[in-house]
Amino acid sequence: MNKFDKLTGIAAPLPLINIDTDMIIPKQFLKTIKRSGLGVNLFDEMRYDDDRNEIPDFVLNKPQYRDAQILVAGDNFGCGSSREHAPWAIADFGITCIIAPSYADIFYNNCFKNGILPIALPQEQIDILMKDAEKGANARMDIDLEAQTVTTSDGEVFSFEIDSFKKHCLMNGLDDIGLTLEKAAAIDSFEATASQSRPWV
């Protein structure tokens, strides 16, 4: 998993509440167990018509937001089912930070396991960030995980809270496997001792 420290990028505004995981990645794309390749189907039913043509009005289809790395969204983002394909699709598209008033718990935790920083801020601050994102590609936001700040293109700074353990994992690029490998020496020592004391196992 890539380390997350600082990010300066284009923010796409998606002012919808209750965006569920089926909207993020519809059920027909859940057959794969690969984390790559799902970005093209992110928000599939909002991005494409029945003939698979892009819907021009959808934010991620607009030229100024095709390279967005930040998503500013409405309340209760990631609700619905617990499918981990949702953060897979978001990350594969290139978005590594989401800013919203609140998140569904499972989705929120899955973000950290997939290198995505989900930031929760009060609605009044989200409103300011949404307007900033509406400026397009010329307005870039700064995310500083170490300082726990979001800075608008106009220099307005908002602070956010984050669990210290989750912050450590993101900044060091540690998913569940990476956390386990940090204990590799202790695991090897335990296995060696166990095989000597119980050679029949």
Q: Are 172 and 3 in contact (CB under 8 A)?
A: yes
- As a whole number of angstroms, the distance between CA 94 and CA 112 comes to 15
Mean per-residue pLDDT over the chain, rounded: 92
Q: Which residue has the higher pLDDT, 148 or 1?
A: 148
pLDDT in tens, 44-84: 999 999 999 999 999 999 999 999 999 999 999 999 988 89
Q: Which residue has the higher pLDDT, 153 or 179?
A: 153
- As a whole number of angstroms, the distance between CA 201 and CA 71 comes to 51
Taking residues 169-180, what's their average pLDDT? 79
Structure tokens at 199: 């050679």
The torsion defined by the Cα of 160, 15, 43 and 55, in degrees rounded to 10, comes to -140
pLDDT in tens, 86-103: 999 999 999 999 999 999
**DSSP states of 57-75:** TSGGGSGGGTT--EEEE-S
- As a whole number of angstroms, the distance between CA 146 and CA 168 comes to 9
Q: Are 8 and 175 in contact (CB under 8 A)?
A: no
- As a whole number of angstroms, the distance between CA 148 and CA 143 comes to 8
State residue 105 phi and psi, 5-degree precision: -60, -50
